[in-house]
Amino acid sequence: MSRIEGYGRVDRSRTVTVTVDGTEYTGHPGDTLASVLLAHDARPLGTSVKFGRPRGIGAAWVEDPTGLVQIEEPFPEPMVLASTVEITDGLVARGVNGQGRLSDVADVARYDHRHVHCDVLVVGAGPAGLTAARRAARDGLDVVLVDDRPEPGGTLTGTETIDGRPSREFVADVVAELAADPRVTHLQRTTAFGHYDDGLVLALERRERGASRQRVHRIRAARVVIAAGAIERPVVFEDDDRPGVMLASAARDFLHRHGVLAGREVVVFTSDDAAYSAAVDLHDAGAAVRVLDARARVPEVWARRCAERGIEVSADTQVHGTLGDDRVTAALVGAERREVPCDLLLVSGGWNPTVHLFTHVGGRLGWDPALGAFRPAAPLPGVEVVGAADGTLDLAGCLRQAGGADAPHAEEEHGEPTMVLWRTAGEPARQFVDLQRDATVADIARAVGAGMRSVEHVKRYTTIGTAHDQGKTSGVVASGITAELLGRPIEDLGTTTFRPPYTPVAFAALAGRARGDLYDPVRTTAIHDRHVAAGAEFEDVGQWKRARHYPQPGEDMTAAVLRECAAVRTGVGILDGSTLGKIDVRGPDAAVLLDRLYTNMMSSLKVGRVRYGVMCGNDGMVFDDGTVLRLADDRFLVTTTTGNAAPVLDWMEEWLQTEWPDLRVRLTSVTEQLSIFAVAGPRSRDVVGAVFADLDVGNDAFGFMSWQDTALDGVPVRLARISFSGELAFEVAVSSWYAPALWDRLIEAGRPYGITPYGTETMHVLRAEKGYPIIGQDTDGTVSPHDLGLGWAVSRKKPDFLGRRSFARPQNQDLLRKQLVSLLPVDAATRLPEGSQIVHLAEDGRLPAPPVPMLGHVTSSYHSAALARPFALALVKGGRERIGEVVGVPVGGELVAAQIGDTVLVDPEGARRDG
């Protein structure tokens, strides 16, 4: 037990029990899994991924490359750092041997996000961050302060003095001042993990209470102050991966945060001053300590403090290796590899400023030889880097830099500069650089030997810096060793790119509430519950749920669709067409606008009439189609395909605003306001006539492609003679508020005629039998109206409209363009899969020698009730010239023969539309 009385800020009045690798351990609130394990001198946590070498706790926070655990309870989480897991009663974890494992149960916790706007965001609540936040708050600004640790104060241990008082009192005072300021939001356990354009920072809050487990704060700040501190870096030596080898600052952290002494017999190997405070503190807590300083000159002040305590300090001394089985038992010192017994080997090779958030937004780094590290080289607008993150490592300097006029004061300490030491002499294959990836100096040498000169290439070749820690301790060291091997200065090489996230973020947190039903908005029509009650199967059309078919007991989709098709062709069916895009086009120049947008003439359409229209892009390719109702001289109702409702409105707006702002037209989407039901079939007139008894629905009074307004119990209803099936049909439109009532009336009136609700699949079959294309299914953006056989819908009278000029291009005149045709499988039995290729058959009916000429592909394919056989629509090169020809369609290894025909397979003379 290595818990030391009088140290640490854990709550010793309470006990927390956790289980690691089957053993129960007790700790206190404020402990992490790592501190509990160290307090109990627990055995190493796991083994490394490649070589199976033992792995233990290497650092006290997110930079630890080795102390990975798999959390089992309360919720399974793979590969998290023991150093960052705050313990709670009942926590169950185990060490990770090699790789972690994803949970096989669903995460039921809630995750959410929040948008935050502020004048100043301060990242890091260490001395520099607290000071910067206090300064901004005193300036009257809206301040957000986030810090990833459970408690504020950063690396302040409490042994420092600020403004003449213990540093923890300074922290408490600043925190209280910020808490009293309503314009300050202060969040601990909140990691700013990504920094993006224009002051956007994403921060992940690990919540202790509240409805969600984690919360992503999307913080938009006018100014971002990065006070993220610095991360100590190790020196690489032989067998530096043994458990018990630890960053010097980490041991100090465990002592002052958790009251845990990580070793009793301690060797401190350093090339900078900071490690001396660890030596002194651990000595004072009861450890036997010896310092080995790689530098020729030992800093005076520390030499004195060590001498006072009887800590032996050796200058110009390096650790070359270690001994031990599953943990370190001795350091091998100097070229002679003298054995110095120890159970804790602390290492410090200087400090790397935590510049991640600075570089996420393109900040450039430069090598600072005095500091022996990379630090921000040039300022970024709206971004300030202060304290250790900027390379200001001493406390006095941090406070001064962050504090402005009323900066807190700390005594200056004068020491010796850091010596840049990447590694000591030894066997490269056992000098571990990235302990998580088991990557060594030998791997870097191999990369350099293979000709790599860029640290980015070396990183990818060796995988150094690609693990959970993203090279927080190994990245710059790898650059340094690469530079040494290449014989070039490190400033020429630079360092690898830091990308978000700073620490791993669960996908669940990024997804937030946008999962399951909330993943994407679901749009349902006004009578959705009627479809559900009728047993409909739904299909997704964009965000819409559309009834696809209504299977009766025992029916599969094919059977249901055949039944529904037969009902429409012989009796009456009803379809919910409410998802069609609907645009109200209003204004004195409405007809002019539509004439320019549609291929056909809309200005000649008479009020009360309906016209089918096609829209093309400037390239002359079909973009959308639909019907246009002229409601008044200056008003049209335009329908679009379901999926294109928004794009068509955007398209119309774009031309209106950017090219023809002189046209007086207003466009309004009425898709959701208006519900439309298609009543189709030879008995549709009976049904509609029964519901609207006042209306003359006879063919003379109510002709094809005309509309009429009427009312039902005082509710306005619009009917139109529009048919997408070739049958006599009425489209009945009503305000969506009244849609359920109207639907019920139509169903009721249709009962004597066996009215059959039909879905989109049936609609597709019926329209395909008539050769009506579906834009987006039978077309793909390379198909012109002429290719579809819609040349009749292209005006010859209008001088111009969108796409017209392109029709004259030679490419559009090519006789071998793919044209829409029908395909009838010769065996009258095979349903050709949509997307099937169509190939030319040789004389003997077999495949010709490769390369096999490709003629086109199947775009739509169904079983037809009316034809009592399967049929398809297809785009075929020079298709209309090939009518009557037999082509091949490879289906599952077989070659199916199919005959090309005209697109209209049912009622080619159009006799059925008037009933």
Partner 1 sequence: MQLIACPWCGPREELEFSYGGQAHVAYPADPAGLTDEQWARYVFFRDNPKGPFAERWAHSAGCRRWFTAVRDTRTHQFVSVGPLAGSEATP
| Angle (deg, nearest 10), helices 557-570 and 760-769 | 60
CB nearer to partner 1: give 586 or 718. Answer: 586
CB nearer to partner 1: give 693 or 808. Answer: 808
Q: CB of 653: closest distance to partner 1 in angstroms?
A: 6
Separation between Cα atoms, residue 258 and residue 263, nearest integer Å: 14
Which long-range contacts link 302-305 to residues 24+ away (Cβ below 8 Å)? 302/273, 302/276, 302/415, 305/276, 305/280
CB nearer to partner 1: give 13 or 658. Answer: 658
Q: Which two tokens stand for residue 293?
A: 């300083």
| Dihedral pair phi/psi, residue 101, rounded to 5° | -135, 140
Q: CB of 795: closest distance to partner 1 in angstroms?
A: 14
Q: Does residue 122 sit in helix, strand or coil? A: strand
Q: CB of 646: closest distance to partner 1 in angstroms?
A: 9
List, in sequence order, every residue forming a beta bridge with 36; answer none if it has no partner. none
Q: CB of 807: closest distance to partner 1 in angstroms?
A: 11
Answer yes or no: are the C-beta atoms of 772 and 724 closer than 8 Å.
yes
Q: Which two tokens stand for residue 402?
A: 């962050």
List, in sequence order, every residue forming a beta bridge with 640; answer none if it has no partner. 581
Q: CB of 197: closest distance to partner 1 in angstroms?
A: 4
CB nearer to partner 1: give 808 or 815. Answer: 808
CB nearer to partner 1: give 810 or 851. Answer: 810
Separation between Cα atoms, residue 368 and residue 420, nearest integer Å: 11
Greatest C-alpha distance within the chain: 115
Q: CB of 604: closest distance to partner 1 in angstroms?
A: 21
CB nearer to partner 1: give 665 or 898. Answer: 665
List, in sequence order, every residue forming a beta bridge with 328; answer none if it has no partner. 324
Q: CB of 362: closest distance to partner 1 in angstroms?
A: 9
| Closest listed residue to residue 432, CA positions, set 347, 510, 373 | 347
**Residues in the site for partner 1, rule: CB under 8 A?**
196-198, 200, 220, 618-619, 650, 653-654, 657-659, 661-662, 799-800, 804-806, 808-810
| Dihedral pair phi/psi, residue 465, rounded to 5° | 90, 10
Cα angle at 77 between 75 and 82, to 5 degrees?
Answer: 105
| Angle (deg, nearest 10), helices 684-691 and 739-750 | 120
| Angle (deg, nearest 10), helices 167-179 and 127-138 | 40
Residue type at position 673: Q
CB nearer to partner 1: give 202 or 874. Answer: 202
CB nearer to partner 1: give 451 or 799. Answer: 799
Separation between Cα atoms, residue 768 and residue 756, nearest integer Å: 19
CB nearer to partner 1: give 363 or 879. Answer: 363
Residue type at position 54: P
| Dihedral pair phi/psi, residue 914, rounded to 5° | -100, 5
Buried b (16+ CB within 10 A) or exposed e, 41-66: ebebbbbbbeeebbbbbbbbbbbbbb
CB nearer to partner 1: give 5 or 197. Answer: 197
Q: CB of 620: closest distance to partner 1 in angstroms?
A: 9
Q: CB of 787: closest distance to partner 1 in angstroms?
A: 18
Separation between Cα atoms, residue 658 and residue 664, nearest integer Å: 13
Cα angle at 369 between 364 and 372, to 5 degrees?
Answer: 85
CB nearer to partner 1: give 266 or 614. Answer: 614
Q: What is the CA radius of gyration of the chain?
A: 38
CB nearer to partner 1: give 23 or 618. Answer: 618
Q: CB of 134: closest distance to partner 1 in angstroms?
A: 28
Q: Does residue 510 sit in helix, strand or coil? A: helix
Q: CB of 580: closest distance to partner 1 in angstroms?
A: 21
Q: CB of 507: closest distance to partner 1 in angstroms?
A: 19
Q: CB of 773: closest distance to partner 1 in angstroms?
A: 23
CB nearer to partner 1: give 662 or 909. Answer: 662
| Closest listed residue to residue 163, CA positions, set 517, 400, 514 | 400
Handedness of CA 165, 167, 172, 174 (dihedral sign): positive
